[in-house]
Amino acid sequence: MASSNPVLDILKMLFYRFGINLFRSFFGITFAFHGLAILLTIGIVLTGLDWSWYQFFVSHGYLQAIFMSGAALGSLVPISVPIILFALGRKRKNGKLTAAGPMLGQAALLAFIISSTYKVFTGRIPPGGLPATGGQYYLSQFRFGIFNGGIWEGWPSGHTMTAFAMAVALTTYYPENRWLRAGCIGYGLYIGFCMSTSIHWVSDVVAGALIGTAIGITVAGAFLTGHSKGQLKGH
């Protein structure tokens, strides 16, 4: 899959088994992650944890301000890190590292597609969309239908799904690196926590983490297989 054109190389690897990975992120063993995300969301809503968590951070506005950095970081990493790893891999003539960049890019792209698709149909009102007297009635209201809430806000958390998809993909791709695993898990948890303090309900974050994990496992497995078969060289 190597060529003299780095743009062509990264695009080829970015969409490596893309349709298959999209399908496998939903079905098979990964379906359990989606089911668990739905069940935990119901449980968190009904127990009032969503509302309590939201009320705590609303009453401590300075914490919301501090953790808003997660939104910027969660948007910057999915764009910059795949490009950096791809360039570094080519420079070092390391095929596995070269493919790691597009692998993370694909994980992020699948997370965006899947989270946006869910939001199209669930239309959940985010914390910032509540009226002053909204209360728990609005907390549990999902505006099911088509485009009742857009694709940017609501259930599940796209930032969290993307962070976990990339983190799990990279740790699965390099399972022997403990420091990398710790860093990736820490990154995913940090982004999820930041999202839960203002932009999303905590149940949105839990669901995003679970579905992102399914995406990461799927994509990393495909790229590991492709690398072992010599289908992903890129240098």
Q: Map out the domains of the chain as residue ranges.
A: 6-127+141-228
% of the chain beyond a pLDDT of 70: 90
Q: Which helix (H) or strand (E) holds 131?
A: none
CATH of domain 6-127+141-228: 1.20.144
Torsion angle of alpha carbons 41, 222, 70, 89, nearest 10°?
A: 170
- Using one digit for the tens of pLDDT, what is the confidence trace for 182-228? 999 999 999 999 999 888 999 999 999 999 999 999 999 999 998 77
Of the listed ranges 11-15, 71-75, 95-99, 211-215, the least confidently predicted one is: 71-75
3-class SS of residue 124: strand
The predicted pLDDT at position 130 comes to 61
Q: What confidence category does residue 121 fall into, taking pLDDT thresholds of 50, 70 and 90?
A: very high
Cα 157 from Cα 69, distance rounded (Å): 16
**Tokens 């239908």 found at:** 145
* Helical residues (DSSP H) of the chain, grouped into ranges: 6-14, 18-24, 31-47, 49-58, 61-67, 69-92, 95-122, 135-139, 158-173, 178-196, 202-228
Highest mean pLDDT (candidates 69-78, 96-105, 128-137): 96-105
Of the listed ranges 51-60, 72-81, 107-116, the least confidently predicted one is: 51-60
